[in-house]
């Protein structure tokens, strides 16, 4: 080991600072040359992938654009409003909520072909059941909106609460 170190010291003295810097630059150049060769070998495969992507993009550009989706066209006709209200009642029953009475009124929205069913539903239930019911109803009926929610509890320790739900159900009136 000492002999190797002695020989390295001799070479370093003979080369000097400039020679050592040149040797380091030569090593860096060799490493870069190896790196460039590996990149050049990968380039044809990358070109093929790029050409395939260009071809795919050109095919998609020639496809006709899909017609814009009209959300109003997905609304049910007025005749199906009672079915949607029945679905709301079924969901309430499935979540353990009784809907003994409710107020329902329908009014056309001026300037549109829509009708708005306004529902006022008083319920007595626990908060988790009410939350689950509302989440499920709003998810299943995209034409349903929650306009107002009033919560009341007689005593703070009571798990039951009285709620008044004001919902709107939008339907297509001109069908």
pTM of the model: 0.56
Q: What is the pLDDT of residues 52-109, one digit of tens each?
A: 988 888 877 766 666 555 555 566 666 677 788 888 899 999 999 988 888 988 888 8
- Among the residue ranges 6-15, 131-140, 149-158, the one predicted with the least confidence is 6-15
Q: What are phi and psi of 126, to 5 degrees?
A: -85, 160
Highest mean pLDDT among 10-14, 109-113, 159-163: 159-163
Q: 75-172 sits in which CATH class?
A: alpha beta
How far is residue 29's CA from residue 63's CA, in Å, rounded to a whole number? Answer: 50
How far is residue 57's CA from residue 50's CA, in Å, rounded to a whole number? Answer: 10
How many residues are present in the chain? 175
Q: What is the pLDDT of residues 101-146, one digit of tens each?
A: 889 888 888 888 888 889 999 999 999 999 999 999 999 888 889 9
Strand order of the β-sheet with 160-172 is: 103-108, 114-126, 160-172, 144-152
Q: What is the pLDDT of residues 24-59, one digit of tens each?
A: 899 999 999 889 888 888 889 889 999 998 888 887
DSSP, residue by residue, 122-149: EEEEEHHHHHHHHHHHHHH-TTEEEEEE
State the DSSP H helix or E strand holding residue 150, giving kind and residue range, or none if neither. strand 144-152
Domain boundaries, the chain: 1-63, 75-172
Question: Which tokens in the block code for residue 22?
Answer: 């040149």
User: Which pLDDT value is given to residue 93?
Assistant: 92
């Amino acid at each position: 080991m000492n002999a190797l170190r002695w020989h390295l010291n001799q070479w370093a003295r003979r080369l000097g600072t400039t020679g050592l810097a040149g040797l380091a630059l030569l090593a860096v150049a060799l490493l870069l040359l190896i790196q460039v060769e590996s990149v050049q070998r990968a380039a044809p495969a990358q070109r093929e992938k790029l050409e395939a992507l260009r071809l795919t993009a050109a095919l998609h550009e020639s496809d006709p654009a899909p017609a814009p989706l009209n959300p109003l066209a997905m609304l049910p006709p007025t005749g199906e409003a009672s079915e949607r209200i029945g679905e709301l009642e079924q969901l309430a029953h499935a979540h353990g909520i009784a809907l003994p009475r409710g107020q329902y009124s329908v009014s056309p929205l001026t300037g549109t072909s829509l009708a708005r069913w306004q529902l006022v539903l008083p319920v007595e239930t626990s908060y988790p059941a009410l939350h689950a019911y509302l989440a499920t109803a709003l998810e299943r009926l995209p034409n349903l909106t929650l306009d107002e929610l009033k919560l009341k509890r007689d005593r703070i320790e009571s798990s039951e609460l009285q709620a008044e739900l004001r919902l709107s159900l939008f339907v297509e009136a001109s069908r």
